[in-house]
Amino acid sequence: MPVTVDGRSLSLESAIEVAEGGARVKASPTSLKQMEKFRALLEQKLARGDVVYGVNTGFGSLSDKVVRPEHLEELQLNLIRSHSAGVGSPLPAEVVRAAMVIRLNSLLNGNSAVRREVAELIVGLLNKGVTPYVPEFGSLGASGDLVPSAHMALTMVGEGKAYRHGKLTDSSKVLSASKLKPIVLHAKEGLSLINGTAFTTALACVAVHRGGLLLKAADSALAVTAEVLGACSQSFDEKLLGVKLDPGQKYIAGELRAHLKGSRRIRSEPVPQDPYSIRCSPQVHGSLKDALDFAGGITVNEMNSVSDNPVLIEDGSVMHGGNFHAQPVAMVLDLLSISLSYLGVISLARIHYLLSKTPPESKYMAGKPGLESGLMILEYTATALTNDNAKNVYPESSYPASVSGGIEDHASHGVNAGVKCLQVATNISRVLAIELICASNILGSNESGISEHAKKVCGFVRANSPLLRGDRAQGEEIEFLAKQALAGSLP
């Protein structure tokens, strides 16, 4: 069943279905009519000879230059070409697709005053699996995500490059093969395609989604580690956590109690005390849950907003301002980078503790310690990944900017914040995979008294990373389990 997009009700889950699941898209007929109404208002202004920024003027510090009517189509095409100045590796296809559906959603509100044909082409691109080639660097996240959005629009006019069935080729060939026609941009349409927060918001959408999946994986890994180490159940007790008013830790403790149900490995006595990486895990994991809830609310609001400039209002007036500034979303992307990194720090602490508890005769779960290294180097890899995240948590959105002759003197740097956040998430998935491999090996083949959850998780882990029987290369096993964590495929 297609996802119907109407400008105001796009959910994070629906956006992910389109971005990652390849769900088809349908533009609401009512919204398409709304677009026609606002476009007619703009056409009336142009017919009267009104001067409107970005419609028949230059852009940014060139806004004092008025453009003659016969050059308006050329103005919009030049805008797309000049702003397609991105460099670096391509953004992931799921991020670009999310940006496309978010931009579509914004345009369907009508306030951008573009023709319905623009929205219909975006629908066609999404449904035919055409993904523009968009380099990762270039956006400042103010005046919109100009550069990445321009690369998206470049495909729409039949220039640049795009992917189809995973193959990168010229956009003109991709459109022809998909039975889609490039669009000739009319007045304001180029500006409305690039002047918004679609890419910053797309990165936040993907980051919130992956953050939720990683939190689920972290809770699973924690529960197995708690059983391996015979942790105290009081740390997750509903009565204890009820005296502290934090919804995140309450949620996590509930998840852990469900995972540990039926376990005879968990003890009720608080002495000897567990390390903080287990005892305080509801508080640490819970801080990410709180951050995800906050970030999700900001992201969904932005997904259903008009982030263009200028915009037309119902009464026909044109209003100018800063709705294209992505600061709220950039801020939560920085918050998510920090919050996600906590999962790596605490998982690394549990890995240290797990390996420190291995007996001398099987140190690091080596069959012949000294001759073999067992799991020892996995701890190094987890440490290196956590160190990389320490660098990545610097807040991009705090960085200054002064471009376009000093008129644009503040920026959110939202795309950079989002790219960094996804890297943090990838690193976390690998650290959690290492914790799961360590816990599975230390638990060993004796599963007496463990919970059904631990049996399922360890069974899944061992199907892809068998118990050690001598040293072997484990990098591919870590990467596979990390991808499963990011995909939400762990039990």
* Residue at token pair 């099987």: 362
Burial of 239 (0-12, 13-18, 19+ CB in 10 A): exposed
Give the three-class secondary structure for 168.
Answer: strand
What is the rounded distance in angstroms from the CA atom of residue 434 to the CA atom of residue 385? 11
β-strands 3-5, 25-27 pairing: parallel
Read out DSSP for 177-235?
HTT-------TTHHHHHHSS-HHHHHHHHHHHHHHHHHHHHHHHHHHHHHHHHT-BGGG
Q: Which one from 53, 251, 380, 394 is the annotated catalytic residue?
A: 53
Angle ∠(297,301,305) on CA atoms, nearest 5: 170
Question: How far is Cα 461 from Cα 474, in angstroms, rounded to an integer?
Answer: 12
Phi and psi at 25, nearest 5°, equal: -120, 145
User: Which DSSP letter does residue 92 get?
Assistant: P
Give the burial string for 375-389 (b: 16+ CB within 10 Å, else e): bbebbebbbebbeeb
Q: What are phi and psi of 221, to 5 degrees?
A: -65, -45
pLDDT by position in tens, the chain (length 491): 899 999 999 999 999 999 999 999 999 999 999 999 999 999 999 889 888 887 888 877 777 888 888 888 999 999 999 999 999 999 999 999 999 999 999 999 999 999 999 999 999 999 999 999 999 999 999 888 999 999 999 999 999 999 998 999 999 999 999 999 999 999 999 999 999 999 999 999 999 999 999 999 999 999 999 999 999 999 999 999 999 999 999 999 999 999 999 999 999 999 999 999 999 999 999 999 999 999 999 999 999 999 999 999 999 899 999 999 999 999 999 999 999 999 999 999 999 999 999 999 999 999 999 999 999 999 999 999 999 999 999 999 988 888 877 878 888 999 999 999 999 999 999 999 999 999 999 999 888 999 999 999 999 999 999 999 999 999 999 999 999 999 999 98
CA distances from 145 to 131, 275, 420, 425, 444 (A): 17, 45, 16, 22, 51
214's CB contacts (< 8 A; 6+ apart) are: 340, 343, 425, 428, 429, 432, 485, 486
Q: What is the pLDDT of residue 203?
A: 98
SS3 169: strand
Domains in the chain (CATH in brackets) are 3-196 (1.10.275.10), 204-487 (1.20.200.10)
Residues linked to residue 87 through DSSP beta bridges, in sequence order: 137
53: annotated active-site residue: yes
List % helix, strand, coil for the chain (3-state, nearest 5).
60, 5, 35
Which two structure tokens, joined as six digits, stand for 460? 């899944």
| Contact between residue 316 and residue 351 where contact means Cβ atoms under 8 Å apart | no
Tokens 């008009």 found at: 306
Helices (H) and strands (E) in the chain, counts: 18, 9
Q: Which residues pair with 318 in a beta bridge?
A: 312
